[in-house]
Amino acid sequence: MKRDTLNHVWVGILGLGVVLIFGCTGLEIHDTSSLFNPEVKRSEVMGLVAGFGTTFAAVPDLVAMFKRRSSKGMNPTMAGIMAIFQLIWVYYGLLVGARPIVVWNTVAVAINCLSVGAYFHFARSERHPA
């Protein structure tokens, strides 16, 4: 894919994210205190268990990239898109007061951003060897 096309895709995705977050009036977070309630329900436990698996699904690729110190075989676009939509999931979790959604998607955003950053670090060092 050409670089210009990729840039247009990123601008479109970011624009959609901005419209979704700021263009929806009435979706403010009303009850943040419920997120810090110490009572844990069975549904939250199941959400935490399910979220664990999906959150850490990208870790093996990240570990492999660090071990071989190469960006070969990695796709930063997928990780970037996932991070954007996981940010939307975090916002949704805040809206509905769902701790598992907020926790796991926050961790997943960090993992995906780390993957994108590592990809560009290794890709740059592969293009310009020391």
On whether the CB atoms of residues 119 and 65 are closer than 8 A, the answer is: yes
For domain 30-127, the CATH class is mainly alpha
pLDDT (average), residues 120-130: 81
With a cut of 80, say whether residue 18 has pLDDT above it: no
* Crossing angle of the two packed helices 99-127 and 59-68, in degrees rounded to 10: 20
Q: How confident is the model at residue 21 (pLDDT cuts 50, 70, 90)?
A: low
Residue 88 vs residues 8, 9, 12, 29, 99: alpha-carbon distances, Å: 20, 18, 15, 13, 14
pLDDT tens string 52-90: 887 888 888 888 888 988 888 788 888 888 888 888 888
40: left (phi over 0), alpha (psi -120 to 50) or beta: beta
**Dist. CA 83–CA 77, nearest whole Å:** 10
**DSSP designation for 26:** T
Residue with tokens 């701790």: 99
Domain definitions of the chain by residue range: 30-127
**Dist. CA 101–CA 90, nearest whole Å:** 6
Q: The whole model's pTM is what?
A: 0.61
Residue 26 phi, psi dihedral angles, 5° rounding: 85, 5
pLDDT (average), residues 105-116: 88
Q: What H or E segment, with its residue span, contains residue 53? A: helix 42-55
